[in-house]
Amino acid sequence: MQPHVPCPLSTGKSKEAEIKRINKELANIRSKFKGDKALDGYSKKKYVCKLLFIFLLGHDIDFGHMEAVNLLSSNKYTEKQIGYLFISVLVNSNSELIRLINNAIKNDLASRNPTFMCLALHCIANVGSREMGEAFAADIPRILVAGDSMDSVKQSAALCLLRLYKASPDLVPMGEWTARVVHLLNDQHMGVVTAAVSLITCLCKKNPDDFKTCISLAVSRLSRIVSSASTDLQDYTYYFVPAPWLSVKLLRLLQCYPPPEDAAVKGRLVECLETVLNKAQEPPKSKKVQHSNAKNAILFETISLIIHYDSEPNLLVRACNQLGQFLQHRETNLRYLALESMCTLASSEFSHEAVKTHIDTVINALKTERDVSVRQRAADLLYAMCDRSNAKQIVSEMLRYLETADYAIREEIVLKVAILAEKYAVDYSWYVDTILNLIRIAGDYVSEEVWYRVLQIVTNRDDVQGYAAKTVFEALQAPACHENMVKVGGYILGEFGNLIAGDPRSSPPVQFSLLHSKFHLCSVATRALLLSTYIKFINLFPETKATIQGVLRAGSQLRNADVELQQRAVEYLTLSSVASTDVLATVLEEMPPFPERESSILAKLKRKKGPGAASALDDSRRDTSNNDINGGVEPTPSTVSTPSPSADLLGLRAAPPPAAPPVPVGGNLLVDVFSDGPTAQPSLGPTPEEAFLSPGPEDIGPPIPEADDLLNKFVCKNSGVLFENQLLQIGVKSEFRQNLGRMYLFYGNKTSVQFQSFSPTVVHPGDLQTHLAVQTKRVAAQVDGGAQVQQVLNIECLRDFLTPPLLSVRFRYGGTAQSLTLKLPVTINKFFQPTEMAAQDFFQRWKQLSLPLQEAQKIFKANHPMDAEVTKAKLLGFGSALLDNVDPNPENFVGAGIIQTKALQVGCLLRLEPNAQAQMYRLTLRTSKEPVSRHLCELLAQQF
């Protein structure tokens, strides 16, 4: 029975009257607690309940805590309930009463009274502090798996343990309890199973191998639910749908693992999934929205599992067809979810063609949907389903939509169109037309990455330069011309204007007049670019020299308020006056082709989409058979002839804005095309103004227990997710060249709450700072919910090193300080320079490194299946060049490379001998430095 509050406390005529009434009540309660007369249980409960109510009204309470603790020792349920409620709401983990509270909780847990046990477990879960976890983490698993525990107690224990694990994972050692917790999936009580699935799903994400036995039990339980009639599970049937919440949880648990290895289990699971898809086609058993919601929840989770497995072509196509039916459903939410799921299906080689059959429906959704979020998902799906057969249609529709698109998604649409136009260009004249249309329609949303890229491609391809010059010349003749178009036009005409100069309509004076008519309407950065174009014109078209010198000599240039424009005018005027024709031609010669590199457009799109978007944007799982000019192979120095502008779109690595190689004699004449201010040569080395001092190792905690495992995952790769929990995801992309490196760290806030005081710091333990220089850029101190921030690290290897730097991340989440320390994935092999050598040279060098201290050898058992192609990929990822026809045994792998440091170079030779019959490896490394040999041997051995 709830205690009665005699007077309504919050119904005063004014705020002052309410405060006066509450203060009077507080004084009365205080006098009762301090009075000589002892209060009975009911009175104490009544007054504690009043205090709780006053606190919930927003007023501070500074007494009554001891009376609430005393209520915990009562044998009456209502009194104990109010005591636990008061403690859960008002007592913090630092309270002096926490020891008394813990003693009361222990007594209730040991009482074997299920009602009291549940109250105690609820209190532990609600407080959820580390102190509570330390006190009860060992007792709760015992209660959970005890044979005499009531079902309600087991439910509460499972959910309480889940709460403690999320707060402090290290306090919940499940080793001895694992098998018995998994066995709860067979429990007869559906509530216990539901709670157990939630717990196991969380636990298996950290220790998947320990809970692998749950797969068969989950499939068995799911099969029984799916095949049951709505009358079989009456207590757990929701609007004619049997146990929908448990079904969804089981399907999510199965998504933590790959497809079952056991053929019988896999067959039973496939049968379950087919049954769910079949039931989705049946007429509804109720017209109420609750029935359709429950039914669709199971269906969408089933489709998520099918997509996760990506191994059953029949199920993938059926899932796609089922989602296609939802694309025109009257419910907006269903249309949204269908578009979102089909985006993922489009990346599968089995279902991509099935997704393409719905292209007309998706295009119609892009045009007619009233909800902007649904239109955005439609644009995402068009992007995902695009290939060579429909690229022109999709790009055309997205350009048409761009003219009326919502401002919030215009930049994203621009990036998608730029990527698709480049990737699936059947000819580059179409690509140039598309990008210029993009600038014309949405010039304000065309980022530097987009127009940088079109300049790279035009510069690198001779066959499109004339067409690009003609097209951009015509575009500049429009009365209203966006500034980005002027930038592109200035660069292209400055380099290739001579290709259209033969036409009187685009003669050199006409080209110059057209560009100069835009000069006074542009920003300083664009004017600087145009001045560089003018000096190029003097070299290309000598007949324009006098006119251009007149422009440069004008007072508005030589005495310009902007120092950059003034300096360029003076230098270019002097250069054109004193340099001979030959010198001028040398200084202002045509720009050489840009070095092939990864495009930053795709990386920018992924950053914009936020955490978890990589799978939706990455189509690397399909379309791997075409390796032509639009294809999916990354060029290597030995295979590149004419650089392909599209090969770089298949990587995830972001590149800095393109810049030209240094120009001899005259300096940076056209490097400024790619800068907003004074020119500067790009460098992997850090600049002092971008760096800040890092705290010492003594200021941070030790690395998390799994730090070494996370580090080992990146020994042979440069991109991926470094760390992820319920709050934070940290992604890594890095590139290394000789002794320099650049690393991009992406911090994603997975919650809806803003991170405060966000501070990621790189720390050098020991004397590492003398071996490895790492300088970082600051990031914003606040990270909004669902947002992602990027941090750039510039790295220089000074000398060989053995220990990686540490990454300390600190922030406040919901008022609670959070911190974690990881090992930054920078290992000595990242500075490997692959070295090709003939067999004779290899053996000669091998003999030279024959001192005992120069060799490190390890014989070890294979931890993974022994696959030659996988082994080859790992060795290449490690940084070594693989040498063919060197080892007499063709099954062995031989590699060579040089570790580049600022102080010295360390030569390295390796030999890996697999023994498939014994499932063993022998790894031998020889280097010119003893510690490097041992360290590289340990690093590489852990990869096999």
Looking at residue 425, the DSSP 8-state letter turns out to be -
pLDDT of residue 229: 73
High-pLDDT (> 70) share of the chain, %: 87
Residue 872 in contact with residue 942, Cβ under 8 Å? no
The whole-number average pLDDT for the span 474-503 is 90
pLDDT of residue 840: 82
pLDDT tens digits, 748-769:
988 888 888 898 989 888 888 8
Nearest CA among 153, 160, 241, 256 for reference residue 202: 256
Do 862 and 719 fall into the same domain? no
CATH for 862: 3.30.310.10
Average pLDDT, the chain: 82
Do 242 and 135 fall into the same domain? yes
pLDDT grade for 231, boundaries at 50, 70 and 90: low
High-pLDDT (> 90) share of the chain, %: 22
Flag whether pLDDT at 637 surpasses 60: no
Q: Which residues make beta-bridge pairs with 790? A: 746
Residues 6+ away with beta carbon under 8 Å from 158: 144, 184, 192, 195, 196, 198, 199
Say if 911 falls within a structural domain: yes
Distance CA 857, CA 692 (A): 41
Domain that holds residue 40: 34-346
Do 821 and 858 fall into the same domain? no
Do 786 and 914 fall into the same domain? no
Domain end, chosen from 546, 564, 587, is at 587
pLDDT tens digits, 122-142:
998 988 888 888 888 888 888
Do 217 and 296 fall into the same domain? yes
Say if 641 falls within a structural domain: no
Q: What are phi and psi of 812, to 5 degrees?
A: -115, 130
pLDDT of residue 600: 63
The whole-number average pLDDT for the span 201-211 is 87
pLDDT of residue 547: 92
Do 833 and 706 fall into the same domain? no
Residue 890 or 645, more confident:
890
Distances (CA, A) of 878 to 625, 690, 940: 26, 30, 8
Judge whether 847 is annotated as a binding position. Answer: no
CATH for 248: 1.25.10.10
The whole-number average pLDDT for the span 654-677 is 33
Six-digit token pair at 273?
A: 């999934």
Flag whether pLDDT at 454 surpasses 70: yes
pLDDT grade for 677, boundaries at 50, 70 and 90: very low
Do 842 and 929 fall into the same domain? yes
Flag whether pLDDT at 809 surpasses 60: yes
Distance CA 781, CA 899 (A): 37
In this structure, are strands 740-749 and 728-737 parallel, antiparallel, or unpaired? antiparallel
Number of domains in the chain: 4
Judge whether 32 is annotated as a binding position. Answer: yes
Flag whether pLDDT at 613 surpasses 60: no
Distance CA 574, CA 104 (A): 90
pLDDT tens digits, 22-47:
899 889 888 888 876 778 888 888 98
Flag whether pLDDT at 879 surpasses 90: no
pLDDT tens digits, 289-312:
898 899 999 999 999 999 988 888
pLDDT of residue 193: 93
Judge whether 46 is annotated as a binding position. Answer: yes
Residues 6+ away with beta carbon under 8 Å from 169: 206
Say if 815 falls within a structural domain: yes
Do 873 and 820 fall into the same domain? no
Least confident among 189-198, 231-240, 825-834: 231-240
Rounded (10°) CA dihedral 16, 18, 19, 24: 130
Instruction: Write out the DSSP string of 307-366.
Output: HHH---HHHHHHHHHHHHHHTT-S-HHHHHHHHHHHHHHTTSTTTHHHHHTTHHHHHHHH
The whole-number average pLDDT for the span 606-621 is 51
Helix (H) or strand (E) holding 807: strand 806-813
Flag whether pLDDT at 247 surpasses 90: yes
Distance CA 48, CA 641 (A): 82
Using DSSP, state whether 294 is helix, strand or coil.
helix
Flag whether pLDDT at 624 surpasses 50: no
Least confident among 42-51, 412-421, 440-449, 738-747: 440-449
Residue 595 or 823, more confident:
823
Domain end, chosen from 796, 826, 856, is at 826
Say if 17 falls within a structural domain: no
Residue 468 in contact with residue 458, Cβ under 8 Å? yes
pLDDT tens digits, 378-422:
999 999 999 888 899 999 999 998 888 888 888 888 988 988 988
Nearest CA among 126, 130, 121, 123 for reference residue 156: 121
pLDDT of residue 872: 87
Distances (CA, A) of 106 to 70, 100, 101, 257, 780: 14, 10, 9, 37, 45
Do 739 and 858 fall into the same domain? no
Flag whether pLDDT at 696 surpasses 80: no
Say if 467 falls within a structural domain: yes
Task: Report the length, in residues, of the chain.
Answer: 944
The whole-number average pLDDT for the span 419-432 is 86
Flag whether pLDDT at 483 surpasses 50: yes
Distance CA 429, CA 651 (A): 24
Say if 682 falls within a structural domain: no
Do 807 and 850 fall into the same domain? no
pLDDT of residue 709: 86
Say if 601 falls within a structural domain: no
Do 821 and 885 fall into the same domain? no
Flag whether pLDDT at 676 surpasses 60: no
Domain end, chosen from 798, 826, 854, is at 826
In this structure, are strands 772-776 and 905-915 parallel, antiparallel, or unpaired? unpaired
Distance CA 684, CA 738 (A): 10
Say if 935 falls within a structural domain: yes
CATH for 762: 2.60.40.1230
Residue 639 in contact with residue 647, Cβ under 8 Å? no
Radius of gyration of the chain (CA): 34
Do 743 and 801 fall into the same domain? yes
pLDDT of residue 628: 35
- What is the pTM (predicted TM-score) of this model? 0.59
Judge whether 336 is annotated as a binding position. Answer: no
pLDDT of residue 558: 82
pLDDT grade for 168, boundaries at 50, 70 and 90: confident
pLDDT of residue 638: 31
Judge whether 572 is annotated as a binding position. Answer: no
